[in-house]
Amino acid sequence: MNIQLPKETTILVTGSAGFIGFHVAKKLLEMGIDVIGIDNFNNYYDVSLKESRNKILKEFDNYKFYKGDLKDLSFVKKVLNENKNINKICHLAAQAGVRYSLENPHAYIQSNIVGFTNLIDEAKNNNIQDFIYASSSSVYGNNKKLPFSITDNVNQPISLYAASKKANELIAHSYHHLYGMNCTGLRFFTVYGPYGRPDMAPILFSDAIYNKQAIKVFNHGKMKRDFTYIDDIIEGVLSALYHSYPYEIFNLGNNKSIELNYFIELIEKNLDKKAEKQMMDIQPGDVENTCADIDYSREKLNFEPKTSIEEGIEKFISWYKEYYKHA
């Protein structure tokens, strides 16, 4: 896939100092597209990692950055008023994480519901037609049928995080219906890669293995995840931005379910260190298995993930060692 967006496009990328937002913004900037980034640098995880990502983006002349919070309507109005040239929005800012939604539910309402609504409503007020946003595989909850298809029922979320993402899909539909906006929701499946999130398994496990601490292996290692490499996700996001369909939901996953035990083995191999495992029961809110049915994404987005878990973990660990200066 070789997506080319017209050079005169200006895209607002929210969460641009976040893991996926950073990679999407960087790719767009490299393509010569003007990018306006927004992030509030919240301290859900290591803020210095967000600063490192943003520093890389700031090296591009075609990048303009606003620090602020999407829950603040006056801030959202200001950014859109000052940038009447925005043609598309790629909304990736959110309070992410399933487990943290049990601890701090309000963060999810503020960022994922209030922030989302502020942004889509101001997009409508400023006649910005194309709105591409992050949903999540979490919306499938404890769906027993695998792989998860976009035609499956997603009315039984098992965490507030999942409920907030499902709510985003519903809000987007109402804006499409009422105002003719082009809204595409992307259900990402466990994304990993360089500059990844420190609250997710790849960095958590690597840190613990490196520091000779026990890793908590939930569901006794029997948990399975459809790990999707960041480069494949970027391709899917670019294609969604390019097509800007009237109203769609797509799964962006690797279409392969990987058992946690095998995933740990790969990290051990690449770090050349053994893990000490502390076997744990499954956590409330966690789902046992995820796998994306990507037939529809193949058909409409030409989406074809290319990175195997073996190759992806090798690239991730190589970045991890360099970034965290672990020889």
Ligand X SMILES: NC(=O)c1ccc[n+]([C@@H]2O[C@H](COP(=O)([O-])OP(=O)(O)OC[C@H]3O[C@@H](n4cnc5c(N)ncnc54)[C@H](O)[C@@H]3O)[C@@H](O)[C@H]2O)c1
Active site residue ranges: 161
- Contact between 42 and ligand X by CB under 6 A: the answer reads yes
Among 69, 169, 232, 248, binds ligand X (CB under 6 A): 69
**How many angstroms separate the CA atoms of 301 and 272, rounded?**
38
**How many angstroms separate the CA atoms of 306 and 187, rounded?**
18
Judged by beta carbon, residue 54 or residue 87, the one nearer ligand X is 54
- Contact between 307 and ligand X by CB under 6 A: the answer reads no
- Contact between 109 and ligand X by CB under 6 A: the answer reads no
Residues 160-189 that bind ligand X (CB under 6 A): 188
**How many angstroms separate the CA atoms of 255 and 108, rounded?**
28
- Contact between 202 and ligand X by CB under 6 A: the answer reads no
For residue 136, the cross-strand partners are: 188
- Contact between 275 and ligand X by CB under 6 A: the answer reads no
In this structure, how many other beta carbons lie within 10 angstroms of the beta carbon of residue 280? 13
The 221-250 site mask, x for binding ligand X (CB under 6 A), equals: ------------------------------
**How many angstroms separate the CA atoms of 129 and 184, rounded?**
11
Among 26, 88, 176, 197, binds ligand X (CB under 6 A): 197
- Contact between 17 and ligand X by CB under 6 A: the answer reads yes
- SS3 label, residue 86: coil
Please work out the total of residues on this chain that contact ligand X, with binding judged by CB under 6 A.
Answer: 28
- Contact between 38 and ligand X by CB under 6 A: the answer reads yes
The size of the chain, in residues, is: 327
Is residue 205 a contact partner of residue 225, using CB atoms and an 8 Å limit?
no
Judged by beta carbon, residue 191 or residue 266, the one nearer ligand X is 191
Tell me how far CA of residue 297 lies from CA of 5, 108, 134, 152, in angstroms: 19, 27, 15, 15
- Contact between 3 and ligand X by CB under 6 A: the answer reads no
Nearest-approach distance from CB 218 to ligand X, in angstroms = 16
**How many angstroms separate the CA atoms of 204 and 61, rounded?**
34
Nearest-approach distance from CB 327 to ligand X, in angstroms = 27
* Nearest residue to 94 via CA among 169, 5, 1: 169
CA 136 from chain center: how many Å? 8
- Contact between 254 and ligand X by CB under 6 A: the answer reads no
- Contact between 95 and ligand X by CB under 6 A: the answer reads yes
Positions that interact with ligand X (CB under 6 A): 15, 17-21, 38-42, 50, 69-71, 92-96, 111, 115, 134, 136, 188, 190-191, 197
